[in-house]
């Protein structure tokens, strides 16, 4: 279980977050050949309040996911977890996150879902408002990042399901 580390939602600083994403993606491109990179999460959505942490998606061939995560870990990223075809790291560390890096199989279900959700939030003000309300509630009712993330799972699924026919 993760130690108490509450999540705080801050007003959007989209330009700053976008610049941070661009710089870190450049760093990752230098270290991971052939990687596909995307800025995801709320910091990738203009005017959406968010955790003050930039989320990035790194897509590689399925067989490379664990090796890429270990490589980034040896390059100073904090490898927080591994699941089948998904590893996540923090930078500079899990206790002082500025970035969360998700390494997944390029164009698999996880990749496509994360991109689709970001794009939905960028294009649909109603979805953005519903998600923001869920984020604020989750931040108030949880005491760590894992619980915060889990508490938003249903709204993400609902919003994606409601917009799958678009």
Extents of the domains making up the chain: 9-162
Contacts of 81 (CB under 8 A, 6+ apart): 87, 88
Q: 21 near 40, Cβ under 8 Å?
A: no
The answer to whether residue 31 scores a pLDDT higher than 60 is yes
Q: Write the DSSP symbol of residue 108.
A: S
> What pLDDT score does 2 carry?
46
Please state the CATH superfamily assignment of the domain spanning residues 9-162 in this structure: Beta Polymerase, domain 2 (3.30.460.10)
Which band of pLDDT confidence, cut at 50, 70 and 90, is reported for residue 6? Answer: confident
Q: How far apart are the first and last CA of the chain?
A: 38
pTM for the whole structure: 0.93
Q: How far is CA 130 from its chain centroid?
A: 18
């Amino acid at each position: 279980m993760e130690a108490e580390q509450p999540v705080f939602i801050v007003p959007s600083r989209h330009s700053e977050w976008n610049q941070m994403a661009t710089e870190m993606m450049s760093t990752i491109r230098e270290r991971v050949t052939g990687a596909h990179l995307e800025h995801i999460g709320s910091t990738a959505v203009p005017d959406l309040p968010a955790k003050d942490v930039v989320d990035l998606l790194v897509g590689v061939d399925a067989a490379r996911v664990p090796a890429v995560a270990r490589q980034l870990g040896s390059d100073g990223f904090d490898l927080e977890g591994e699941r089948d075809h998904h590893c996540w790291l923090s930078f500079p560390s899990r206790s002082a996150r500025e970035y969360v890096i998700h390494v997944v199989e390029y164009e698999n279900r996880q990749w496509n879902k994360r991109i689709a959700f970001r794009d939905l939030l960028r294009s649909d003000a109603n979805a953005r408002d519903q998600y923001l309300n869920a984020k604020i509630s989750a931040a108030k009712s949880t005491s760590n990042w894992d619980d915060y993330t889990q508490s938003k799972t249903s709204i993400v699924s609902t919003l994606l399901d409601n917009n799958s026919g678009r």
